[in-house]
Amino acid sequence: MQAEDFTEGKVLLIDKPLTWSSFQAVNKLKYVLKRKFNLSKRFKIGHAGTLDPLATGLLIICTGKFTKKINEIQAQEKEYTGTILLGATTPSYDLETEVDQTFPTEHITEVLLQETLPQFTGEILQKPPVFSAIKKDGKRLYEHARAGEEVEIEARKTTIYEFELTRIALPEVDFRVKCSKGTYIRSLAHDFGKALHSGGHLTALRRTKIGTYDVADAISPNEFEEKINHED
């Protein structure tokens, strides 16, 4: 590949590792490409949809002129798989923060789980987690949360196309979900636990698809570096 391939534009499929931020993944590719092809400081590169550091999976990175495609890619439906731990909540709705409340789970059966799923398909209202990057009063919500400030978060409309449980090993359940842009899977885990008259938080999350792009075709940032450096 030549420098022009990346300045003219490419869509790169990256399998983001656990604990990496999306920003770190973009920076890694930017560093690799600039060093290999001696690209200018004005070289454009960006991702089409953030993944939390505690999530893994498909991160689409666009370069050069293809950065114009980012909004179009972000708008496509997404698919995730993951694990919800029932019986406990955390302020961040995932493992970023410690458990703050525990609830009984003895009443939860496979029948109750399956009966509760339909509440979370179709167009639903959900509140983003207080530990999220949405701005409120000029500050990101997680900045308010870390400062111990209470903020009113408005519920937003989102669409869940499919929501199924793929493993039930109470208090854990594995799931697969297909959803629209702007859906918070952490909020889905929290709200699902609440609907079961218990609690719930996300303990694992993997993005598997964005539109027709599939994580099966993605490579890690380190594999990308190896591939680029071994090309003539």
**Dihedral angle sign, alpha carbons of residues 92, 96, 98, 103:** positive
* Catalytic annotation present for 52: yes
How many Å apart are CA 88 and CA 92, to the nearest integer?
12
How many Å apart are CA 131 and CA 75, to the nearest integer?
23
User: What is the chain's alpha carbon radius of gyration, rounded to the nearest angstrom?
Assistant: 19
Catalytic residue among 52, 94, 137, 217: 52
Mind giving me the DSSP string for 92-111?
A: TSSTTS---EE---TT--HH
Judge residue 61's burial from the number of C-beta atoms within 10 Å of its C-beta, 0-12 exposed, 13-18 middle, 19 or more buried. buried
Which residues are annotated as catalytic? 52
